[in-house]
Amino acid sequence: MNQDYIKASPWSIIEEGFDRERVKSSESIFSLGNGAMGQRANFEEVYSGKTFQGSYIAGVYYPDKTRVGWWKNGYPEYFAKVLNAPNWIGINVWVNGEVLDLNTCKEVSGYRRELNMKEGWYKRSFSALLPNDAHIEVGVLRFLSLDMDELGAIRYEIKALDADLDIGFQPYLDSGVTNEDSNWDDKFWNTTEVVSTERQGFIQAHTMKTHFKTCTFMQSQLFLNGNLVDVFPEVEKKEQWVGHRYAHKLAKGEILALHKFGGYTVDRNHHGDELVQAAKTTLKKALELGFDTLLERQRSAWAEIWKMSDIAIEGDVKAQQGIRFNIFQLNQTYLGRDSRLNIGPKGFTGEKYGGSTYWDTEAYCLPFYMATKNQKVARNLLKYRYNHLEKAIENAQKLGFSNGAALYPMVTMNGEECHNEWEITFEEIHRNGAIAFAIYNYCRFTGDYSYIPEMGLEVLIGIARFWRQRANFSQLKNKYVILGVTGPNEYENNVNNNWYTNYLAKWCIDYTIAQLRKVKEGFPDDYRRVVGKTKLGDNEVSQWKKVADNMYFPYEEERGLFLQQDGFLDKELLTVAELPSSQRPINQKWSWDRILRSPYIKQADVLQGFYFFGDHFSEEELERHFDFYEPFTVHESSLSPCVHSILAAKLGRTEQAYTFYLRTSRLDLDDYNKEVEEGLHITSMAGTWLSIVEGFGGMGVLDDTLSFSPRIPEQWKSYSFNVNFRNSIIKVCVQKEVTEFEITGEEIVPILVNKKGLELVPGKKVEVRVS
Amino acid sequence: MNQDYIKASPWSIIEEGFDRERVKSSESIFSLGNGAMGQRANFEEVYSGKTFQGSYIAGVYYPDKTRVGWWKNGYPEYFAKVLNAPNWIGINVWVNGEVLDLNTCKEVSGYRRELNMKEGWYKRSFSALLPNDAHIEVGVLRFLSLDMDELGAIRYEIKALDADLDIGFQPYLDSGVTNEDSNWDDKFWNTTEVVSTERQGFIQAHTMKTHFKTCTFMQSQLFLNGNLVDVFPEVEKKEQWVGHRYAHKLAKGEILALHKFGGYTVDRNHHGDELVQAAKTTLKKALELGFDTLLERQRSAWAEIWKMSDIAIEGDVKAQQGIRFNIFQLNQTYLGRDSRLNIGPKGFTGEKYGGSTYWDTEAYCLPFYMATKNQKVARNLLKYRYNHLEKAIENAQKLGFSNGAALYPMVTMNGEECHNEWEITFEEIHRNGAIAFAIYNYCRFTGDYSYIPEMGLEVLIGIARFWRQRANFSQLKNKYVILGVTGPNEYENNVNNNWYTNYLAKWCIDYTIAQLRKVKEGFPDDYRRVVGKTKLGDNEVSQWKKVADNMYFPYEEERGLFLQQDGFLDKELLTVAELPSSQRPINQKWSWDRILRSPYIKQADVLQGFYFFGDHFSEEELERHFDFYEPFTVHESSLSPCVHSILAAKLGRTEQAYTFYLRTSRLDLDDYNKEVEEGLHITSMAGTWLSIVEGFGGMGVLDDTLSFSPRIPEQWKSYSFNVNFRNSIIKVCVQKEVTEFEITGEEIVPILVNKKGLELVPGKKVEVRVS
């Protein structure tokens, strides 16, 4: 925990004071991204203290050869590593010939970082007394342009404080970078060309094995007291490095500023031979516009994003800061412009977890993007999986499945499995269900059914086939069972009949059969195409149905309880409250076997099912299961508190929901798990949004109608958010006594509030009393 | 499978013909050992083809830093690697200036290897036409002395076939060796001194981290047509290498022989500063005796071993060769002279599995050593675990156990756990039971109870405490359950209530309580000492009893079947016979999850319990369980067929028992699993011995009396073996119609044959008709 280190502020993340031990964690928290690239908040100038260097390009990865202690048949050959990309932000700074390095300065004062979320920039300022007694004031402002997403800009200002000074700036590019995470210390980048023109620098490099081609580029300008100093830099070139050196005298009180423009052009967007040309075009435009105009455009672009996605909370600055930080980071990570990209668990803020796509995308992130962007963005997320269907079928084949059964990978970059723990890779198969659920959720929310006949049906068929083959008939139970799985609660491995998995499996089959019928009737051409392509026979579908109709669910009569898995009640059922705090977190204190045989739940499992399928269960059932499972839940996954928050809100336990909300929304800002230096928990940030909108706001779709059941935590005066429901923007403002609804757009939209129908008419604000 | 490659012969292992693809597998099969050191059958001269170099010193290992893909809390820091030791066998050979290398010869003919098991030596002979057309006949005989167990000897003879030749020999020592198996490519050996006197060479080296000090030494003699040529060699020295070069002219038809004596002195046996001196003493004695006398002594020493441990089979050469190979290798690996040593799964024949001690020792090897050596040898095996008790308690503490609970490691060298797969390291806890069972088995067979008050009781208390803490009370079942284990069948992981484990756990507690009572009565001083040391209270014992008395056993009423674990009957119960052969072995063809959810059993599990506790179950119960589990057993562990062979024999299914017997006895000779090049399956070789003595011979101890129920496979005319039962040697010869018993020693020993009592009187052969 790191509580109160980050200053509370509604729109900014602020750090005050220079603390060497916080550098790595702040590098994570102050990260920047624009959906196409991102970077940790590393210093531009030399820093000899502890740092974790990270600059990332969306979709650029390296297949690092798998390293395991004991190989198991079926393990993937490689793990896709998020790749530290060539450095374009670097600026060496000399003051009177001495290198500026905050780690060696005699004194650093007034140190302050601000991440301005409203406008999308990051600023660092401080005064430094160098070992040679030179005294300077520094202000550095940096942003990654939303407008031109291959471009970033830095304004590095130095003011001479006590005396005249000689200042040297050397902006540089460096492709000699390494990953912190590497299995075999492979070389990840191959630099093919280092070029410098009079004012511009370019490094062409491609990743080894995957051969993603990139051009890292830069051009800088020097300003004295705001006036351009038109000099040519002194060029220095090395094998994987190019620097442009500028030097200038600075009188006491004067300010020297370097504007550095840089970034990456990549062959995802350009022909591989034209990356330098593309970089030149970008630089030309950047120079024409200039730093200030680019910054102005950055403000506008973020204003546009916030207009739709902001959640305003009155009366609770920390909660406000938390949710905005979450929304800001989600938007920095993924903007939905490119269906080849996805949302990595650490976004552009660290290397951990590799890969880019987990079931987090479908289970947690999709609703956020559906409601705060247009439906094309959400559709791109679905399309990503459609594009990976062939690979998912191959993946299932490797594990012994046949006939087009598809198993989506646990972790992936390009559709191939990257993970290699057998209990997860092979057994955490519920992920397949989340992908089908996302299709359902998308159609339900957007009303866009066309995705199913066009693409979704094929995905559903692959998934239904998988479940049919993965279940087996138990003579003893006279039911179909699913043996040897790991559910969402990864503190149980290789269990039989995980209720959540079995429930999803049955639902997937039922849903697929229903869609087959619907597509057959409504889209006969698509139906013929899909049935032909998948060679689906009627007999096969009736086999699916047999499995779904006869699925076994572990259940205990006496308490009327769905059991997380077979045998759950044989455990020693001590609650988390009975566990000494010295024993927590159990994943750090206990050996794995002890965790496994304990009743402790890492993240919502049965309750995840109650969240997905809220309308399948009565409130009494929800309450019974919540009261049984919550006391055993240790929430040692970032994806857990949000689900519990939503369900607690649904049960009217607003105070408890609020506690879970705070935990999820400030997880990284307050560094709950003492690991923020590894990067941020991006995907769980979507869960925070869900906690407010689906939890407190009680938003859902009932009978094809948008529905709300607003509640408000005692600590808040009001909260408001927008939802794009089928291209109408609905603004919801929940206050202590009333909830206000407003709609923009052309259409009248019927909604349900506390299950009562009303109509939202453009231009007319509606107030409903909070029940 | 490699059937018929090794020539059938009752006392020898013979290979004929040079096959580059077989070099590595034959290096395993022709391995030599003398309990203190051992080596793969690598060529002395240069070989540029595929080879796996291995020379091993008992008890010398390296703690290689653990490498895993995903670290789990509780994993050990290192894995003890069996270490390829400095090479002392190397001899460079030149013929007319050309290096002899079988891989580059124009022609190799008459190539033959023989491992003479009766006399304990290994010979390789061939004719070679070198690239320079020099034509020679070579014969190389090598043995590791049983008599002087730091010494090995080589006689390398070359005959000039077609013309006069210049021969050069360069015997050398080389400590610049590497391991095939290394996690981090660490340097394993540090060479501290390379010394050469006029005729002797020494390399002092110690292992990194563990600091085992060794001196590798050599001295050679040259003989022309049998006459000593008294020359000084030309000495060559490098950083980790020393060579002695001899050169001589050889007329056509003449024979030049090099006798090389070498080996290791180690600081397990000598003071670390006196290793060179000890080596000199050994060399002096070796030179005084000379090669022929040493070989003669080798013959006698092996004759002594065979006198007691041979099993002679009449009428079936392959079965005969198989069992002798097994007995030979067991004796090469472990002679029971040193309680600091143990029996590694690959002995001195490869690196795989690292460590030296698995539960194999107690479950499979102990009975062999009890019956074919004196009881001190078996006692040394038990003492080994007593010496590791503190470490076993520490190991349990690391996993969260307390109060002196002991969990013996899955794999160990010095008592510390080396293995790092959570499902095995943390969960395959039945190993603890095998250690208790071995104590019981030892007392039962040898009649030596003294081990228990002296040492065993402490071990039993540690184990009982472990089971008490590892079981938990299930409210639902109103019984104690043991959750999250892996049984002997490693094709099931993290299961609940593995019947074998639960049964052993209960038995361990019951047995410990019984011994506490017995020691209290019979050895009150020991009792006081042990109770004081372990701080054992009466209340604690009654808690144990509660667990043992209320242990849960998975059972199915309808079939009257103990279930391997909870939920076993939910599987798709297809037998092995229904599995296409293309799918086998499943551990190579199937992904791990598929194996886990299948009903296929890697090795005897419930049936292992029926083997250990044969007298707890009726023959009907045995038959029922054998008939249920055998059809699901794939025997993909080398430890499985022997148990099934014994139980099949017990059920009178001699033909089936014979099939299992062949599989176990010729596993390596016929290379069933296509992996013999990695080394031999040493510990399962004890299982082969069990198949004959306990299986066909039906040997056991009933009511403190040695008992037999002899049966004979149809293919055999007779078989005979000796048993040292409480210091009387009983020779058993089973023929088609009768079984002959003979006893040597002073005492009259009552035995049971087919449950009928008779007395064996020294000097009087007794015949009993086979029932």
Residue ranges in B453-498 assigned as alpha helix (H):
457-470
B400 — contact with chain A (CB < 8 Å)?
yes
Mutate to test the interface with A, among B71, B429, B591 (most CBs of A within 10 A): B591
Residues 493 through 552 of chain B touching chain A, CB cutoff 8 Å: 493-496
Q: Which two tokens stand for residue A13?
A: 């993340």
B68 — contact with chain A (CB < 8 Å)?
yes
Measured between its terminal Cα atoms, the distance across chain A in Å is: 36
- Using alpha carbons, select from B262, B241, B246 the residue that is nearest to residue B196: B241
- Regions of chain A short of the pLDDT cut 50: none
* B189 close to B207: Cβ distance less than 8 angstroms: yes
Residues written for chain B = 771
The CATH code for residues B12-67+77-308 is 2.70.98.40
* A758 close to A706: Cβ distance less than 8 angstroms: no
**Chain B residues whose beta carbon lies within 8 Å of the beta carbon of residue A476:** 569-570
> Cα torsion for A434, A436, A439, A443, to the nearest 10°?
-110
Calpha distance B124→B122 (Å, rounded):
7
Is A417 considered catalytic here?
no
Calpha distance B707→A253 (Å, rounded):
104
B566 — contact with chain A (CB < 8 Å)?
yes
Q: Between B746 and B453, where is the model more confident?
A: B453
A187 — contact with chain B (CB < 8 Å)?
no
Residues 6+ apart with CB under 8 A from A80: A61, A62, A63, A64, A354, A355, A356, A411, A412, A413, A414, A416, A418
Q: How far is B507 from chain A (nearest CA, A)?
A: 22
A184 — contact with chain B (CB < 8 Å)?
no
Partner-chain contact B590 A73, CB within 8 Å: yes
pLDDT confidence bin for B72, thresholds 50/70/90: confident
What confidence score (pLDDT) does residue B238 get?
95
pLDDT tens sequence across B568-588:
999 999 999 999 999 999 999
- How does DSSP assign A21-76, residue by residue? GGHHHHHHHT-EE-SSEEE----SS---SS----EEETT-EEEEEP--SS--TT--
Calpha distance B384→B393 (Å, rounded):
15
What confidence score (pLDDT) does residue B179 get?
87
User: Rounded mean pLDDT of B608-624?
Assistant: 97
B387 pLDDT more than 60: yes
Q: Strands, E, within B692-746: which ranges?
A: 700-702, 705-708, 718-725, 728-735, 738-744
Nearest residue of chain A to residue B493 (CA atoms): A494
Annotated catalytic residue within A362, A417, A490, A630 = A490
Q: How far is B545 from chain A (nearest CA, A)?
A: 19
Residues 6+ apart with CB under 8 A from A537: none
Q: Which residue among A422, A495, A594 sits closest to B593, beta carbon to beta carbon? A: A422
Q: Which two tokens stand for residue B147?
A: 């008599």
Residue with tokens 């336990």: A653
B1 pLDDT more than 70: no
State the burial class of residue A137 (Cβ atoms within 10 Å of its Cβ: 0-12, 13-18, 19+): middle
A589 — contact with chain B (CB < 8 Å)?
yes
Q: What is the pTM of this model?
A: 0.94
Q: How far is A588 from chain B (nearest CA, A)?
A: 7
Annotated catalytic residue within B114, B490, B630, B742 = B490
Residue A106 CB neighbour total at 10 angstroms: 12
Residue ranges in A555-635 assigned as alpha helix (H):
586-589, 592-597, 606-612, 619-629
What confidence score (pLDDT) does residue A179 get?
87
Which residues of A make up each annotated binding site? 359-360, 602-603
B8 pLDDT more than 70: yes
User: Three-class SS of residue A7?
Assistant: strand
Partner-chain contact B73 A474, CB within 8 Å: no
pLDDT tens sequence across B230-265:
999 999 999 999 999 999 999 999 999 999 999 999
A64 — contact with chain B (CB < 8 Å)?
no
Q: How far is A569 from chain B (nearest CA, A)?
A: 6
User: Three-class SS of residue A433?
Assistant: helix
Can you give the C-alpha Rg of chain A in angstroms? 27
Backbone dihedral angles phi then psi of residue A136, each to the nearest 5 degrees: -135, 160
Calpha distance A208→A205 (Å, rounded):
9
Return the CATH class of domain A12-68+77-309: mainly beta
pLDDT tens sequence across B27-55:
999 999 999 999 999 999 999 999 999 99
Mutate to test the interface with A, among B597, B600, B636 (most CBs of A within 10 A): B597
**Chain A residues whose beta carbon lies within 8 Å of the beta carbon of residue B494:** 423, 493-495, 596
**What amino acid is encoded at A730 in this protein?**
I
Determine the Cα angle at A594 with ends A590 and A595, to 5°.
75
pLDDT tens sequence across B309-356:
999 999 999 999 999 999 999 999 999 888 899 999 999 999 887 767
- ipTM of the complex, rounded to two decimals: 0.92
What confidence score (pLDDT) does residue B355 get?
64
Q: Could you give the percent of chain B with pLDDT greater than 70? A: 99
Q: In Å, what is the CA distance from A157 to each residue of A141, B556, B647, B732?
A: 9, 80, 85, 97
Q: In Å, what is the CA distance from A372 to each residue of A127, A302, A534?
A: 41, 13, 35
